[in-house]
Amino acid sequence: MKLWDKGFSTDKKIDHFTVGNDRELDLVLAKYDVIASKAHAKMLGKVGLISEDEAKDLVKALDAIAKDLEKGKFTIEDDFEDMHSKIEFMLTEKLGDTGKKIHSARSRNDQVLVAMQLYLKDELTEIKSQVKVLFDLLIKLADKHKSVLLPGYTHLQIAMPSSFGLWFSAYAESLVDDLYFVQAAHKVADQNPLGSAAGYGSSFPIDRSFTTAEMEFATQKYNVVAAQMGRGKVEKATAFGISSVAATLSKMAMDICLYMSQNFDFISFPNELTTGSSIMPHKKNPDVFELIRAKCNKIQAVPNQLIMIMNNLPSGYHRDLQLVKEVIVPALQDMHACLEMMTFSLKEIKVNKSILEDPKYDYLFSVDTLNELVKSGMPFRDAYKTMGKAIENGNFKPKRDIDHTHEGSLGNLCLEQIKEKMEKVLA
């Protein structure tokens, strides 16, 4: 059962190779094909390509399919190539010739485009929501632990004093940057491609403004060739958006894995959030964060995967583009899971409040001690050499009562300003 069936069959090996895992992926997207089909049916009735009664019958039948999808009763058997052929079969089985009319003035190409873009809009909206929940938690943790000092590192060498307030809120503000990319991807996806058909429009007098409003797109992808060229481009924009979020989560997961080790001992988690070893009874492993790190690193490779599929394709549709689906859908599912698990786990984090009591961290205060000499009138370069000699000779005495007051420093976290940035990007 194929939408392009002309009365002859293709070799089974060709079928298997060309269909791939589309049926499984289409179970995720079928909801959106139904939404687009309803808008299309209403439009066909509005412009007179089908009667108003036929349009109502199609919408009613599509609503029934939507309920099956909600209940998990919708399946795509091997007899069908994809969700489009299964849905059209169900409509024809129920409505006869009326069901066969649903495909007037559209192609499977713009069907795929519009279903994917509706799906990506929903996914990106959900990711924004999940990022905001994690952001709020990080701001809360930053405020709660703002006075607890933490060693700062450069080159993995002890550098300068930091704080848990700085650490948590650094990742919070980084998420704001990530949402700029996510918002940009949402804007690319929020353009209706339905009506572009196979990429060259239609001789039918369709009303694309109607379907645009019906499906709540912000605008149309007006040029029908440009609409078809959006296939893969929208997925790539989405991939760049989620890869930015993934980079932030991966880096934080790496910090957590380091900070949990006995060599650092900066933070800990309850036993139920760690795993053990089959032979070492003392182990409390950060498996959750290691998997977040790995999954987020995989997500960061997705833009390149899509570029490699799409690179140097001329305009118009090519079957290569089928493969973008199997790259972006699992990546989005992994992104949701990583955001959920990072938020779930961070709620239980415990910070070590006495880290800097260890004398090996005395040198964290070398810059602050040096700055006191500068404040007293000594030129910076002379103060630097004086401090260097004191450290070399073992005469260094750290000034621990540090006073950082400028915006964004550990004594002035600017949490309210960071929250305002997040509100603006979401607005």
CA–CA gap between residue 196 and residue 228 (Å, rounded): 7
CA atoms within 13 A on the CB side of 398: 17
Q: Which residue has the tokens 């492993």?
A: 285
Query: Quick one: how far is CA 238 from the chain centroid?
Result: 7
> Exposed, middle or buried by CB within 10 Å (0-12, 13-18, 19+), for 368?
middle
List the Cα angle 51/216/219 in 5-degree steps. 100
96 and 195 Cβ atoms separated by less than 8 Å: no
Q: Which residue has the tokens 């899971």?
A: 337
CA–CA gap between residue 161 and residue 163 (Å, rounded): 7
Length of the chain measured in residues: 427
**What global pTM score does this model have?**
0.91
398 and 149 Cβ atoms separated by less than 8 Å: no
Q: Indicate the SS3 state at residue 160.
A: strand
CA–CA gap between residue 266 and residue 101 (Å, rounded): 66
- A 10 A CB-CB count for 395 gives 8
Please report, as a single letter, which amino acid is at residue 45.
G
Report the run of H or E that residue 161 belongs to, with start and end: strand 157-163
- E-strand ranges in 7-46 read none
78 and 15 Cβ atoms separated by less than 8 Å: no
> How is residue 226 written in tokens?
């440009």
CA–CA gap between residue 289 and residue 140 (Å, rounded): 20
Q: What is the pLDDT along the chain (427 residues), one digit of tens a residue?
A: 554 454 545 555 555 454 456 778 889 999 999 999 999 999 999 999 999 999 999 999 999 999 999 999 999 988 888 899 999 999 999 999 999 999 999 999 999 999 999 999 999 999 999 999 999 999 999 999 999 999 999 999 999 999 999 999 999 999 999 999 999 999 999 999 999 999 999 999 999 999 999 999 999 999 999 999 999 999 999 999 999 999 999 999 999 999 999 999 999 998 887 776 566 766 688 899 999 999 999 999 999 999 999 999 999 999 899 999 999 999 999 999 999 999 999 999 999 999 999 999 999 999 889 888 899 999 999 999 998 999 899 888 888 888 899 999 999 999 999 999 999 999 9
Q: How far is CA 195 from CA 92, 191, 211, 220, 232, in A?
A: 22, 12, 9, 10, 18
CA–CA gap between residue 95 and residue 77 (Å, rounded): 20
256 and 286 Cβ atoms separated by less than 8 Å: yes
